[in-house]
Amino acid sequence: MKHHYNLLAVIALLLLASGCDVFQTLDQQPDNTLNRDQVFADAEGIRNVLRGTYDDMQGFMDDYTIFAALASDQATHTGSFPTWQDIDNNQVSPENGTIEGPWNAIYNTVNTTNVLIERASASEFEGLSEPAAAGVRAQARVVRAFGYHALTRWYGGHDGLDQMGVPIITEPTESVEEVQLPSRSSVGDVYDQIISDLEAAEGAINSGGAIEDNPAGIGFAGQNAVRGLLARVHLYRASIVRRAGGDPTSDYEAAASYAQQVIQGGQHQLSTLNAVYNSLNSNESVWELQYSSQDANAMSFFARPNGEGGRLEYGLNSSFVANVDSLDDRTGVNIKVAGGQPFIGKYFRLDGSDHHFVLRLPEMMLIRAEALGELDFSNNKNEAVEYLNEIRRRAYNEANQGGDEPDFQEAGAEIDPADVTSKQELRSLVVQERRKELAFEGHRWHDLNRLGIVQQFVNLPSDTDRRWPIPQAELDVNDNLSQNPGY
């Protein structure tokens, strides 16, 4: 996708005006851009822009994934980029150029979704039915919601809905004259916007064949992806509300309900680890962002050792290695060896064709387990623990890797519900399981933050460093933006 579909030329002008090299950011050359009249000439043009929206999402997913590991206790900086070292040390300054990349890339993507939501109307384009137009708008809303959740988790507050979030922009900017300089919205308002987008998308996302490239709906967001994101977002908001002393019941209920709809929907089942990571696009994937050797990412390049196809810019954190179980088949997924050197192995393809796992079924099971424990521990404990055991049963099943290690019970991997005596214990077990099951998929740092337990696992210089500063370059061009406390 990267060289065929992209943003409008006027959006490129917008970003260039704010000091962002859009062509470097999006791996796009000037003669590949189209003006808005060409792009929106017909129904296929609308669909091409939607494909370009996913292409833009690809542009920030490496940072999204790597930095959530690097800032946490999963990975450590092993290369030469000083700005990555700052992220590893959790001493990020507003002048750190690396943190400006995700900000610009995500807002760039958001602007494309804003344009699509406004322009994708069946009345304007021959060959675009109203269900198809609604489907395009729904897909755009899902990508926008995903982007805003990424932004507020990195740059917004974690301890109350009244804390500062990020600017909300829902109107398209299609010319330099339309440049918006918004102030920051509260965390609560950002979550309201995210949930509003996802709720609006849920009923229309599969209508009319908005994208025909992948009928299975894996590469592009489908209805289960919407429900999966709603489960995730409600869990995050519940965690914030709970820690701020509010009543998180409705959010936990929503998280549990949406997760259950995905679990019981019949479209997704736990697959073998080999199918998930070696074959890709397994039945387990709810939303898997696609890559190929012609449309590659840099995940393997940054993780693999020097001389083995990579530059080892980030590597395994010693505390992560110390807590793995050799009988757990996920260890062989998360840690691989090349040239005698262990490295982060979840992304291992030399040609950069590893996929990003946006949503997988085990996350839904873990979300539901956590939410059930918070809602009614005594009555829900057995169901919650069984979700953990189902995931662990797969992890300790010798059929996954063809080896002869002990099975689930012989390895002592089964959790007895009788041994789990409080919701705090259950929450801790869920966190431990998320660390193993969702390792290096963009979760760990945000899990520690939403639960307020960062300093139990990470040497954090100060509480200020739990969220990134607003990039200084953004403050320099927008007087309406305010910096995070402590910076």
Q: In the chain, where are the structural domains located? A: 9-213, 223-290+355-466, 299-354
202-212 tens-digit pLDDT: 988 875 444 54
pLDDT at residue 270 in the model: 95
pLDDT at residue 168 in the model: 97
pLDDT at residue 218 in the model: 62
List, in sequence order, every residue forming a beta bridge with 315; answer none if it has no partner: 76
Mean per-residue pLDDT of the chain? 87
The pLDDT of residue 400 is above 90: no
3-state secondary structure of 345: coil
Nearest to 4 by CA among 43, 41, 25, 33: 33
Contacts of 402 by beta carbon, 8 Å cutoff, 6+ apart: none
CA distances from 276 to 68, 73, 280, 443 (A): 21, 24, 5, 18
For 205, half-sphere exposure in the C-beta direction (CA atoms, 13 angstrom radius) is 22
Q: Which CATH number does the domain 9-213 belong to among 1.25.40.390, 1.10.760.10, 2.30.29.30, 3.20.20.10?
A: 1.25.40.390
pLDDT at residue 6 in the model: 34
Same fold, 9-213 and 223-290+355-466: yes
pLDDT at residue 120 in the model: 83
Q: Are 433 and 49 in contact (CB under 8 A)?
A: no
Q: Are 135 and 221 in contact (CB under 8 A)?
A: no
With cut-offs at 50, 70 and 90, classify the pLDDT of residue 175.
confident
Least confident of 170-179, 355-364, 404-413: 404-413
* SS3 sequence of 137-198: HHHHHHHHHHHHHHHHHHHCCCCCCCCECCCCCCCCCCCHHHCCCCCCCEHHHHHHHHHHHH
Q: Are 125 and 88 in contact (CB under 8 A)?
A: no
- In percent, the amount of the chain with pLDDT more than 90 equals 74
Nearest to 267 by CA among 225, 238, 233, 307: 225
Question: H/E element holding 448?
Answer: helix 444-450
pLDDT at residue 46 in the model: 85
418-442 tens-digit pLDDT: 999 999 999 999 999 999 999 999 9
Burial, 68: exposed, middle or buried (Cβ in 10 Å; 0-12, 13-18, 19+)? buried
384-396 tens-digit pLDDT: 999 999 999 999 9
Which CATH fold would you assign to the domain 223-290+355-466?
A: 1.25.40
The pLDDT of residue 51 is above 90: no
Helix axes 361-375, 423-437, angle to 10 degrees: 170
pLDDT at residue 402 in the model: 52
pLDDT at residue 451 in the model: 96
299-332 tens-digit pLDDT: 999 999 999 999 999 999 999 999 999 889 999 9
3-state secondary structure of 17: helix
Least confident of 141-155, 201-215, 262-276: 201-215
Its pTM surpasses 0.85: yes
